Amino acid sequence: MDRLIDILIDEETLAASGPDAEHERRVAVFDLIEANSFEVVGYKRGPYTLLLSMQERRLVFDIRDEQQAQVHVFVLSMTPFRGVIRDYFMICENYYDAIRNATPHHIEAIDMARRGIHNEGSDLLAARLKGKVEIDFDTARRLFTLVCALHTGQVRGNVR
């Protein structure tokens, strides 16, 4: 019962993005719904629906039960995420450039760095949610992908 059954992203707070970014968001949402662990601390009435949005540069987790009754709303500052997200997108740009021009060994090294930074962002998200929502690592990774989408309007790379 401690899982997400639906994830909605407030399109009005999502920056404009292209078809590739929209596809990545859909994949992340699909993967997240297929397999996740999401427990609202102190509330044992899942499964849940999650509405993600941005309000005044803050990430909003609006968590609802199956009947759409609000369970809890958590607001997180984006400040701790900015450096990780900036580094993640910078390494993604290097990765896409490398795919066109570099050796397989160089591409693999950049991809490992890209995944490492994504893991760092996932760990940060799990830590910021600790005491509010308990999530496993795979759930944190997929949620971080969506946080990146909300922060910049783009998701680059297929991170699972």
Does residue 20 carry a pLDDT above 70?
Answer: no
Average pLDDT over residues 23-46: 88
Q: Tell me the pLDDT of the chain averaged across its residues.
A: 86
Per the listing, tokens 């992340």 go with: 28
For the chain, domain boundaries: 4-152
Say what the pLDDT of residue 151 is: 66
Say what the pLDDT of residue 155 is: 39
* pLDDT 10s digits, 36-65: 999 999 987 789 999 998 888 889 999 999
Q: Exposed, middle or buried, 145 (CB in 10 Å: 0-12/13-18/19+)?
A: buried
Bridge partners of 53, per DSSP, are 60
* pLDDT 10s digits, 65-116: 999 999 999 999 999 999 999 998 888 888 888 988 999 999 999 999 999 9
CB atoms inside a 10 Å sphere around CB 122: 23
